[in-house]
Chain A
Amino acid sequence: MRQVTAKPKALTNAPFHYCPGCTHGIIHRLLAETLDEFGLTENAIGIASVGCSVFAYDYFNCDMQQAAHGRAPAVATGIKRVRPQNFVFTYQGDGDLGSIGIGETIHAANRGENITIIFVNNAVYGMTGGQMAPTTLLGQKSSTTPTGRSIGEHGYPLPVSELLQALPGAAYVARTTVTSPSQIRITKRALAQAFQAQIQGRGLGLVEILSTCPVNWHMDPVEALTFINEEMVAQFPLGVFKDFDEEVARDGK
């Protein structure tokens, strides 16, 4: 019998703790497959952030360091500067990256650090119970905006990829999602290109992945996928915002 698929070597056997319908799991798998395909599983160093993915160090079969809330890109900078031969990635949520850690994100990108950021945007602080994040949509209900986010009180959803696009040090910036097989394939390609940015020493690579949080959105898993496709994508358009290799960017779309 021919084996057609297997669990990536970059994943351990620890069962994920994520809620049913949470797409953190799919994103972990894609990242692990990409590590395997680039032959980087033995070489990679990952930074787990603070958020639901805090236990990422249990799931990835590589060295990992757990960083304080928002500090992952700065910690990654330190590691990469000391070990430029290693592949260094961070895995961060939108609270971690877009809220408390937006300063680190912008400055790591602006310095053109050769690191790869996997940015999981689920429009809420998942781990602490679904409070409003900077990325929460206008009108979206969260535990700190029970009747919905309003511009007057809370301002606008933060477009992280669009912000980073403006920085010369950011080599690759893309926004994708994992709500369908075709979107999953696009995300995989985006990850590969973000890996290339680091491997080729082009600067910071970031893939923003729109992800579900069915528990805090109070939706079933299918409704959560629909919410991304219909609501989130309207606020956060998918696509490649920046690419060191324009050819690949066009193919990617």
Chain B
Amino acid sequence: MALQEKLTKTAALTGNEAAAQAMRQIHPDVVAAYPITPQTEIVQLYSTFVNDGIVHTEYVAVESEHSALSATIGAAAAGARSMTATSSNGLAYMWEMLYIAAGLRLPIVMPVVNRALSGPINIHCDHSDTMGARDAGWIQIYSENAQEMYDNLIQAVRIAENPDIMLPVMVTMDGFIISHGMENVELLPDRAVEEFIGEYRYPYALLDIENPRTIGPLTLQDFYFEHKRAQADAVVKAKTVILKVGEEYGQLTDRSYELIESYRMEDAEYALVVLGSTAGTAKYVIDELRQDGEKYGLVKIRVCRPFPAVRLGEVLSRVTAVGVMDRADSFSGEGGPIFAEVRAALYGVSHRPHCINYIYGLGGRDIGPDLIRSAALDIKSLKDGSESDSLVRYLGVRE
């Protein structure tokens, strides 16, 4: 380990470059991709690695995202470690195949660079793309910065390929904010990544002459339900595996990972719940509020699928009021997707805090410390009954 630590190097990288470096070290056998802003740079860099002989990956420049994931599914089923990457409408166009990848239990790892869904067309960050895909059966890990994107991708391989799990994983980062912003990123030595992720072993790979198989045959009333039950079970088991992998990764890097991150929550009276890059800005706001003597804390949801309901219940049951920040609207008429799930998580706790929703940053609308601060101060005014008039509040929008 000592030797590896010495070889760890720090580089100034954009989020996309960090993701491409992680992919280079994961060194999948097959990458099939279609470009889309702001993901483009990842696959473009990767095609350069292929071209320069740095990786020995079969790179397929397919004609659409639907084909990108289809080819990745074919390659994974054939027994190859396979990856693709996308954003926004590209993810939407993969929809059919998302469910198939998960249903066939193919351990595909896919970076997704968050970008608002059309329409109207927009290229900037919000979480409508991956939030829309949250029930497709994929594990979802959200990253706060380029370092986390890199770390999460490497861990994702171990999580996806765990024999008890065998599920695809999407690892997200905020479009432009992380993907195009440059940061110091600590990169592991190639060998360390290789050892950490191990060799790809898909137990049911085609082609096995002794045991010919069909992958994804028709199941109707007879077996479909059992398949889905097994899938649901794997998602639950994933919580333990994610924690174990996060801990092991910590031993390698001094950066260990859990399902959620609690920031200054020990004695907090008020809390914000955030995902992605906004967590970084929100931590700064929490620090400022703390300096003013206000007892605020923050909970960052890192893993959204499986949803860390129990952990959230534990940390949030100690506070008076919670503001859940959603960078997507679910258009249910009841606020954003994270809000609905956090509230559900709070249902079973003995001391239930007030809980309201802030929808922010859609289509890349800027979210600065001032807006976050205004939301934080807003939740302080919540009293019994007072949240019922407007549970869902929109931040920084022209009304």
Contacts and interface: CB of A to CB of B under 8 A. Distances in A.
A187 interface: no
B35 A66 contact: no
B121 interface: yes
Contacts of B120: 66
Name the interface size band of chain A. 20 to 34
Contacts of B89: 68-69
Contacts of A147: 51
B26 interface: no
Interface in A81-109: 99-100, 102
B239 to A, nearest CB: 36
Interface residues of B, number: 22
Given A125-B35, A145-B51, A100 B40 contact: no
A44 to B, nearest CB: 21
Contacts of B64: 70, 99-100
Contacts of B61: 131-132, 144-145, 154
Interface string A9-51: 0000000000000000000000000000000000000000010
A155 to B, nearest CB: 10
Interface in B227-278: none
A68 B121 CA distance: 8
B172 to A, nearest CB: 20
A131 B40 CA distance: 9
Contacts of B119: 66, 68
A205 interface: no
A124 B36 CA distance: 14
Interface in B78-124: 89, 93, 118-121
Interface in A62-87: 66, 68-70
Contact of A131 (B35, B65, B118): B35
B51 A102 contact: no
A128 B48 contact: no
Interface string B41-76: 001100110011000000101011100000000000
A146 B121 contact: no
Given A132-B61, A144-B44, A146-B48, 11 more contacts: A66-B120, A66-B121, A69-B89, A99-B63, A99-B64, A128-B36, A129-B35, A131-B35, A144-B43, A144-B61, A147-B51
